Structures are given as structure tokens and as C-alpha cells.
């Protein structure tokens, strides 16, 4: 985590991808699109690790205790991916279950969870927004 913080220099790109967007990224990656390659590499690593875990030790949903098991019906509906702008070789990712992904306040859930890692985490308004 320190290496990630150091390489990020305090600035991260935080993205939420649906399963469909991950599928599209896989297709775009076959054409060499850089950001799609980054996303598919992170997803590949997440899948590899998720498939190695035992029941009760699997990856949990960002917002609840849903455990993601290989080939289960509780596959993530989406993923949160955090990458430093300055160093794209590192990332943090977590699955998001169907129920949490459908929450209208998913952004608030994400910020709440990020504050457990980075207490000062907050959402910045995008340029052009009020
Ligand atoms: Zn959940």
C-alpha cells in the first residue's frame, strides 16, 4: 500500500466498470487500446487471485459481505479499479455485487470505503460541474 501511495503522489483515478464495460474493454484490448489493456490486466489478476481462494477466504464485495467464489452465481456485477495517474503498473480493485452495484448511493459507498484506507478521501467536483 505504501508503494501505491508513493507512486500515486496523492492522485488516483477511480473508476467503476460494469460487467458489460469489462467485456468491451477485453474487446478493445485486442486492438491494443492502452486503457483497455490496463483494465483487462487488473481483471485478469483479480480473477486469478479469486480462483485461488478457499470458501470463506474469497474476495468480498466493496459494500457488503458477499463473497465472490469461482463459477458461482454471485459473480460481481461490476468492479472498482483504483490506479495512480503517475504509475499504471499498480492498482487496487474489488468486485461489487449485484445488489450494491444497483444502489443509487454507490458513489457514497465507495467514498465511505475509501475513507477506511485514506481518511482524507473525498470527491472532487469535475471541472464544469456546479
Ligand atoms: Zn455488495
Q: pLDDT for 44-86, tens place per residue?
A: 999 898 888 888 888 999 999 999 987 777 889 999 999 887 7
* Distance in Å, CA 64 to ligand 1 centroid: 4
The pLDDT value recorded for residue 6 is 65
* Distance in Å, CA 77 to ligand 1 centroid: 9
* Distance in Å, CA 125 to ligand 1 centroid: 26
* Distance in Å, CA 100 to ligand 1 centroid: 4
* Distance in Å, CA 61 to ligand 1 centroid: 5
The pLDDT value recorded for residue 21 is 96
* Distance in Å, CA 113 to ligand 1 centroid: 12
Q: Residue 10 above 70 pLDDT?
A: no
The pLDDT value recorded for residue 4 is 64
The pLDDT value recorded for residue 124 is 74
Residue 90, classified by CB atoms within 10 Å of its CB into exposed (0-12), middle (13-18) or buried (19+), is middle
Orientation of helix 34-52 relative to helix 19-30, angle to 10°: 120
> How large is the average pLDDT for residues 83-97?
87
The pLDDT value recorded for residue 8 is 61
* Distance in Å, CA 43 to ligand 1 centroid: 18
The pLDDT value recorded for residue 5 is 66
Taking the CA atoms of residue 127, residue 119, residue 91 and residue 60 in that order, the dihedral angle to the nearest 10 degrees is -120
pTM of the predicted structure, to 2 decimals: 0.83
* Distance in Å, CA 85 to ligand 1 centroid: 27
The pLDDT value recorded for residue 16 is 95
Amino acid at each position: 500500500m505504501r508503494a501505491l501511495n508513493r507512486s500515486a503522489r496523492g492522485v488516483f483515478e477511480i473508476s467503476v466498470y460494469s460487467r458489460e464495460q469489462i467485456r468491451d474493454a477485453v474487446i478493445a484490448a485486442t486492438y491494443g487500446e492502452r486503457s483497455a489493456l490496463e483494465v483487462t490486466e487488473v481483471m485478469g489478476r483479480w480473477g486469478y487471485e479469486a480462483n485461488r481462494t478457499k470458501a470463506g477466504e474469497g474476495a468480498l464485495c466493496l459494500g457488503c459481505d458477499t463473497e465472490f467464489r469461482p463459477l458461482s452465481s454471485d459473480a460481481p456485477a461490476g468492479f472498482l479499479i483504483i490506479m495512480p495517474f503517475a504509475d499504471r503498473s499498480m492498482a487496487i480493485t474489488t468486485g461489487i455485487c449485484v445488489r450494491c452495484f444497483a444502489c443509487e448511493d454507490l458513489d457514497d459507498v465507495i467514498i465511505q470505503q475509501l475513507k477506511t484506507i485514506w481518511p482524507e478521501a473525498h470527491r472532487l467536483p469535475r471541472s464544469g460541474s456546479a
